[in-house]
Structure 1
Amino acid sequence: MCGIIGIVSSRPVAERLVDSLKRLEYRGYDSAGIAVLDEGDLKRLRAEGKLVNLAEKLKAEPCDGNIGIGHTRWATHGLPNETNAHPHQTERLSLVHNGIIENYRDLRAELEADGAVFESQTDTETVAHLVTRELGRGHEPRKAVQEALARLEGAFSLAILFKGEDNLLIGARRGSPLVVGEGEGETFLGSDAIALSPFTDRIRYLEEGDLAVLTRETIAIFDEFGNPAERVMKRSSGKPLYVDKGNYRHFMLKEIYEQPEVIGHTLGSFVDLTTGRTRLPRGASIDFSSIGRIALSACGTGYYAALVGRYYFERYARIACDLDVASEFRYRESPLDDVDLALFVSQSGETADTLASLRYAKETGLSTAAIVNVDESSIAREADHVLPTLAGPEIGVASTKAFTCQLMALAALAVRAGVDRGRIDARQELELTGVLQEAPRLVNEVLHLEEQIADLSRHMATKKHALFLGRGLSFPLALEGALKLKEISYIHAEGYAAGELKHGPIALIDDTMPVVVIAPHDRSFDKTASNVQEVAARGGEIILLTDRKGAAAGIVDDAHTIVLPDMPEILTPIVYSVPLQLLAYHTAVQMGTDVDQPRNLAKSVTVE
């Protein structure tokens, strides 16, 4: 994810822009840049690599200006170089962007046909040219931005500086966060409160579809329909903030809603979104053509992600996989002679059992790789290959966005492995990466089901036990859904492979036992439907997660059915995770538990 800052002031802003970007560098450090309005003209400084490079450039090339924008980038579209660094600029404006414009290829072709000349490979530059074209049609800045926004598909937050407008900055958001702040004779805009904390303790969070017009004296906010809108002023502590709940009641809910953005960014680490070809993150150099067996290991939610990963690797790359809970990996003393790669999954990168397992694998001479969310963690430092998830800080103990980012990383990695091994040809690679790029949109659609799921949770909160069932790729989700429910609501829940129902768990079924069934209409649907009938015949209460075709099948008449969008099978673990997270979250809220810090648990388990 990328970091954004904007300042409208009566004193120079360049150094303050860079200082603010330091607080946002965790969001990306492939490149950084600022643009200021210097005597009415746009002046831009950009540098590849970490922010220190931009700071040194500013020392060598000081720039004046009382209004400006800044950006620290994590690359998705285009190489991480100065040409692709933000801000992007035309003769009329300078612009920074966080998010992904999904229809940028079509827009770029249209704009090029109109004579626009592009300098970069990014999707962001398309927005700059689109707004510039609207200015050329005679629209004033706010109208030009509104007209351009109507053409965009995807998630974004934007900050735009206009040539000749030394008291105007426009921001907009859809799907990506943006916050505005008021100071004494100056105003601010940032991708989160961290960026603004040195300057003001008076902030407003923009809501979905909002557009903000900033001057030194005022901040005017308009909703997605162009109507003036009031957003609640909040007081921050005034101290440097590193995480903030924003408008959300809990960090967990905020992190659930961040998933469209962060899984898109994680995908961009494994797929060149310009060409659709798979790649490994920088620094990793795994040649899957020589790998015939992988040992996977993780703990908790990471273990369930690894279980999905085993399905992915075996199905798409035809690589055999062993899977162990990390706390058992060393003690099982399994022969590792035929294992070619040990792959570990961790959010924190500090989980003691997982770290010990990695060290055990290294001692045996195995090549090691880690899917990890913290670049400077112990696991990341010690693994031979680091495969980062770009979830950003996850504060809620119950993992949400880190889990779906792990799933995205594993899916893309399995496709890459299939390409290396000749199991996936160039056409199939493009088809699969194109499907993976649909994940942010589909997750966003599922988030619109929150109210329905919240209603269902009121009933779930009256129960003492629950079963979760699934087959194939849905089996790990049954395990994860049960874990989520029990760790934050304290309701006892168990996940099972649906085919195992009659081998024991069916004895628990009665009219007090809710059974959550994850059943997309895939190759296993008919068999899962038979298991649902077995539950219904014994009076079990069924909560069915399925798609339109599955719902139309009418397995049982009185099931509580949550209908999700249709999607290819590779996406179901990622997208179907979201309603399970929301069900657990709202059930816990109904029960009054501490959602973000459930009892007896910690975010990172650093003891064995």
Structure 2
Amino acid sequence: MCGIVGYIGQQEAAPLLLKGLQRLEYRGYDSAGIAVLDGVRCDVLGGGMNDDAGVRVVKRKGNVASLGEALAGSNGAVSGATMGIGHTRWATHGDPSDRNAHPHVSADGQIALIHNGIIENHAALRVELRKHGYEFVSDTDSEVLVHLIDHLWKSIPFMNFEGAVREALSIVDGAYGICVISSREPDKLLVARNGSPLVIGVGEGEYFVASDAAPIVEHTRRVVYLSDGEMGVITRDGYTVKSIGNIVCEKGLTELDFDLEEIEKAGFEHFMLKEIFEQPEVMQDVMRGRVRLDEGRIQLGGIADQLEQLREAKRIVICACGTSWHAGLIGEYLIEEFARIPVEVDYASEFRYRSPIVGPGDVMIVISQSGETADTLAALRLAKEKGAMVVGICNVVGSTIARETDCGMYTHAGPEIGVASTKAFTAQVIVLTMLALALSKDRTMTDGEVMDALRCLNELPERVKRILDYNGEIQSIAEEYKNARNFLYLGRGYNFPVALEGALKLKEISYIHAEGYPAAEMKHGPIALIDEEMPVVVIAPKDDTYQKVLSNIQEVKARGGRVIAIATEGDEEIRELADHVMYVPEGKAFIMPLLTVIPLQLLSYYIATLRGCDVDRPRNLAKSVTVE
């Protein structure tokens, strides 16, 4: 599970593949490799293959820079080739090592394959292939697939490359996104997907393949997104998309809606910091054309035809994972308060394993930054099977969730490169806020109440800019707490999910243990942990729960705990109680999560950088989780 790139055309492949892998490093990795082909036989480097290998492979444990060093030291072993595939790996089977890195190569060196996903029946297939004399040099499930293709190609009369790949895919169980090349048919690049995203970039006499559009956009804006069960057959003369059952599929071209500059750091030290500071502009983009102040309403084109059906829902189930799940919790508060529709929030990873009660009359909202999250897709499909209406909220145009839901809304957050989500979270919350207001119109809120809420949304970007101006003060607070081993985050109401999100951010990028709790739950267990070594972050804006949160702070201080408070600008009372205060502008309760989360993002970022952590590529994490 991680990044895939591929190229066939007239340019030299290796530099293009290496640069493409660099664009995909944000997805997570533990090794990287490329394989190229131009009909010339050469040694395979790093793979232990024989001297007459038909493909040329270089792969290394570590980051893409390590692969670049290996390529520079290979004496031009991959130079000159105009076709190839590349991969960054995030381990699912086998430790990070040269031998477990992709591409994997057939025993005769004539087929090379890269794979995202998991082959669930790999153990049984490995046993069968060993009976036919195949030996395995890696611990991966992916190597099984390349040997299976080789076996079918050699053992079935009149079999060709495309047929062997198709037959192999009909045998394997599990998820995959694959690219395969072979010196036996050296002018053909085959790709296929089932649960793991792939996109084909269409250039002038050249074609690109990737697991997302980031490596493609600098070469072409015209792309084709493969759907599950589809296979692309690509040559220098063109491409064809077929089903795994060999039926031609008509696929339209999609124009990419982002620019190369959006996936560059633009002078920031890290993508994460850039994306935190982009949030005022992202918020404007999310609301553009949707928040109609002049008309006093919300316009959501993606669900316009289904809006009445949504308003009549018996209940709404929100399904998501990780940060998107926290956004969903805020959505629960918003929809229940504004639209008075019952809402449940489920972990997508648990939904289909608990015999869920969902069916006609219910609405499921699935939330995913990438639109490819495997667990969320599984929940989506189960809900549709049971007759529920499914609404998608995602960031990536043309993603699987965007295609498979009944209707939905894009967040328009732009590419998010940092693995720890920041701007995607706030964009999701704004979309949920607009949805709640749209559901409430002419139903539970007066025109005046809706207009008041729209004004709050409209003022949001400027308020976030004010918080970002406190950047230096937050960095100073981070300096004092960078060596802490544990954190506790507390919040009430709308800010309880923000406490969860703040704790998750700190865990993800600084590797400090942190937990989020409803503030009132502190007395039901976590208070036992509090001492002078336990920093407690308390979200305490001036709202209906303010006095109760002050009581929670006093309980922490009475036990020697250190308090970092997030408070409303001008609140001097809390400054007397807390050790440190991070201020946010005043705002209505429903808008506060979009303000209080900003200092928590910055606090996590600065603590992590002060600890020397790689904030854009935290260990063990992948940006897009495309396997269960």
TM-score (norm 2): 0.58
User: Alpha carbons of 1:334 and 1:565: their partners in 2 closer, same or farther (altered >3 Å)?
Assistant: same
| Contact preservation (8 Å) 1:489, 1:588 | yes
Of structures 1 and 2, the one scoring higher in RCO (CA 8 A, sep 6+) is 2
Tell me the distance in 2 between the aligned counterparts of 1:271 and 1:309. Answer: 17
Partner SS, residue 592 of structure 2: helix
Tell me the distance in 2 between the aligned counterparts of 1:389 and 1:500. Answer: 33
- The match for 1:510 is 531
Tell me the distance in 1 between the aligned counterparts of 2:592 and 2:261. Answer: 35
Tell me the distance in 2 between the aligned counterparts of 1:334 and 1:478. Answer: 27
| Contact preservation (8 Å) 1:265, 1:390 | yes
Q: How far does residue 268 in structure 1 lie from its aligned partner after superposition?
A: 2.3
Deviations 1:322-374 (A, max 9, x none): 11000011112122247521001110000000010000000001110011101
2:497 to 476, 491, 516: 476
Q: How far does residue 284 in structure 1 lie from its aligned partner after superposition?
A: 4.4
Tell me the distance in 2 between the aligned counterparts of 1:308 and 1:607. Answer: 26
Task: Name the amino acid aligned to 1:448.
Answer: D
- The match for 1:372 is 394
1:583 to 591, 603, 614: 603
- The match for 2:413 is 391
1:419 to 395, 416, 441: 441
Deviations 1:199-246 (A, max 9, x none): xxxxxxxxxxxxxxxxxxxxxxxxxxxxxxxxxxxxxxxx97661001
2:512 is the alignment partner of 1:491: yes
Partner SS, residue 437 of structure 1: helix
| Contact preservation (8 Å) 2:262, 2:414 | no
2:340 to 318, 327, 344: 318
**Which structure 2 residue ranges, 5 or more long, are not aligned?**
1-213, 220-258
Tell me the distance in 2 between the aligned counterparts of 1:391 and 1:241. Answer: 14
Deviations 1:463-492 (A, max 9, x none): 010000000001000000000001000000
Q: How far does residue 276 in structure 1 lie from its aligned partner after superposition?
A: 3.4
> Structure 1 segments of 4 or more deviating over 4 A?
193-198, 239-242
| Contact preservation (8 Å) 2:286, 2:412 | yes
1:341 to 347, 363, 371: 363
Q: How far does residue 568 in structure 1 lie from its aligned partner after superposition?
A: 1.2
Question: What pairs with 1:258-407 in structure 2 (closer than 5 Å)?
Answer: 258-282=278-302, 284-285=304-305, 286-287=307-308, 288-337=310-359, 340-407=362-429
Deviations 1:260-280 (A, max 9, x none): 011111122532244331121
Question: What pairs with 1:96-495 in structure 2 (closer than 5 Å)?
Answer: 243-282=263-302, 284-285=304-305, 286-287=307-308, 288-337=310-359, 340-420=362-442, 422-495=443-516
The structure number with the bigger radius of gyration is: 2
Bigger mean CA deviation after superposition, 350-359 or 564-573: 564-573
Partner SS, residue 344 of structure 2: strand
**Which structure 1 residue ranges, 5 or more long, are not aligned?**
1-192, 199-238
User: Alpha carbons of 1:278 and 1:543: their partners in 2 closer, same or farther (altered >3 Å)?
Assistant: same
- The match for 2:159 is none
Tell me the distance in 2 between the aligned counterparts of 1:363 and 1:338. Answer: 10
Deviations 1:36-84 (A, max 9, x none): xxxxxxxxxxxxxxxxxxxxxxxxxxxxxxxxxxxxxxxxxxxxxxxxx
| Contact preservation (8 Å) 1:532, 1:555 | no
Tell me the distance in 2 between the aligned counterparts of 1:455 and 1:555. Answer: 16
Deviations 1:526-566 (A, max 9, x none): 111111111000000000001035x2224744520112111
TM-score (norm 1): 0.59
- The match for 2:583 is 563
Task: Name the amino acid aligned to 2:502.
Answer: G
User: Alpha carbons of 1:482 and 1:339: their partners in 2 closer, same or farther (altered >3 Å)?
Assistant: farther
Task: Name the amino acid aligned to 2:536.
Answer: V
User: Alpha carbons of 1:363 and 1:474: their partners in 2 closer, same or farther (altered >3 Å)?
Assistant: same
Tell me the distance in 1 between the aligned counterparts of 2:344 and 2:431. Answer: 18
User: Alpha carbons of 1:338 and 1:524: their partners in 2 closer, same or farther (altered >3 Å)?
Assistant: farther
Task: Name the amino acid aligned to 1:296.
Answer: I
Tell me the distance in 2 between the aligned counterparts of 1:245 and 1:463. Answer: 29
Task: Name the amino acid aligned to 1:590.
Answer: L
| Contact preservation (8 Å) 1:529, 1:555 | no
Q: CA RMSD in A?
A: 2.1
1:595 to 615, 618, 627: 615
Task: Name the amino acid aligned to 1:251.
Answer: F
| Contact preservation (8 Å) 1:463, 1:491 | yes
Deviations 1:125-169 (A, max 9, x none): xxxxxxxxxxxxxxxxxxxxxxxxxxxxxxxxxxxxxxxxxxxxx
Task: Name the amino acid aligned to 1:583.
Answer: L
| Contact preservation (8 Å) 2:360, 2:386 | no
**Aligned residues between the structures:** 374
2:572 is the alignment partner of 1:552: yes
| Contact preservation (8 Å) 2:336, 2:342 | yes
Q: How far does residue 458 in structure 1 lie from its aligned partner after superposition?
A: 0.8
Tell me the distance in 2 between the aligned counterparts of 1:269 and 1:553. Answer: 41
Tell me the distance in 1 between the aligned counterparts of 2:288 and 2:448. Answer: 19
Q: How far does residue 590 in structure 1 lie from its aligned partner after superposition?
A: 0.1
Tell me the distance in 1 between the aligned counterparts of 2:215 and 2:262. Answer: 5
Q: How far does residue 314 in structure 1 lie from its aligned partner after superposition?
A: 0.6
| Contact preservation (8 Å) 1:284, 1:386 | no
User: Alpha carbons of 1:555 and 1:532: their partners in 2 closer, same or farther (altered >3 Å)?
Assistant: farther
| Contact preservation (8 Å) 1:270, 1:409 | no
User: Alpha carbons of 1:565 and 1:465: their partners in 2 closer, same or farther (altered >3 Å)?
Assistant: same
| Contact preservation (8 Å) 2:553, 2:578 | no
Q: How far does residue 455 in structure 1 lie from its aligned partner after superposition?
A: 0.5
Deviations 1:143-196 (A, max 9, x none): xxxxxxxxxxxxxxxxxxxxxxxxxxxxxxxxxxxxxxxxxxxxxxxxxx9999
Tell me the distance in 2 between the aligned counterparts of 1:250 and 1:458. Answer: 18
Partner SS, residue 583 of structure 2: strand
| Contact preservation (8 Å) 1:269, 1:281 | no
| Contact preservation (8 Å) 2:478, 2:606 | yes
- The match for 1:231 is none
User: Alpha carbons of 1:380 and 1:337: their partners in 2 closer, same or farther (altered >3 Å)?
Assistant: closer
2:553 to 522, 526, 532: 532
Partner SS, residue 515 of structure 2: strand
- The match for 2:231 is none
Partner SS, residue 305 of structure 1: helix
What percentage of residue pairs aligned between the two structures are identical? 47
| Contact preservation (8 Å) 1:533, 1:556 | no
Tell me the distance in 2 between the aligned counterparts of 1:381 and 1:569. Answer: 34
| Contact preservation (8 Å) 2:360, 2:389 | no
Q: How far does residue 570 in structure 1 lie from its aligned partner after superposition?
A: 1.5
Q: How far does residue 429 in structure 1 lie from its aligned partner after superposition?
A: 1.3
